[in-house]
Amino acid sequence: MPNPTIVSDFRAGLASGKLLIQKCGDCGEVNMWPRYACPHCQSENLGWQEANGKGTLHSFCVLRQGAPEGFEEDLPYAIGVVKLEEGVQLAVRLVPDASEDWSSYQCDDQVEFVGKESGRECASFRRVGG
Ligand SMILES: [Zn+2]
């Protein structure tokens, strides 16, 4: 599968257990997902910083059937949108809770980065304290 330059650093970070977010070298603002130009000042001087991995679960859904083509074998799985403490949001996979389900998850839960666990090129998060 092609690995576009704009996400290769992010994916390399995931592979080594780091959650990287894009940071502008000129205005200092962070943004996600990766862009070719800073959405705040249009600079192309973009780099990366490691996020602290803590955030709030903005929304999520559990897929039990009807996965998009190519994702059928992942079922069931949960996708969430997490707002990181750094202020940016990204789509993540959610780790099942102790009951091997996602029934304990609620919007606004505090969640934390746990690495790349799904076999997909995305970050996995779990509830804090549960
Ligand atoms: Zn900028």
Q: Which domains does the chain have, with CATH numbers?
A: 5-50 (no CATH), 54-127 (2.40.50)
Whether the per-residue pLDDT at 123 is higher than 90: the answer is yes
Task: Tell how far the Cα of 115 is from the centroid of ligand 1, in angstroms.
Answer: 27
Q: What percent of the chain has pLDDT over 70?
A: 96
Both structure tokens of 62: 């559990």
Q: Give phi and psi for 13, each to the nearest 5.
A: -60, -45
CB atoms within 10 A of CB 130: 10
3-state SS class at 4: coil
Predicted confidence at residue 3, as pLDDT, reads: 59
Task: Tell how far the Cα of 85 is from the centroid of ligand 1, in angstroms.
Answer: 19
The pTM score is 0.90
Residues by chain with Cβ below 5 Å of ion ligand 1: 24, 26-27, 38, 40-41, 43
Average pLDDT, the chain: 93
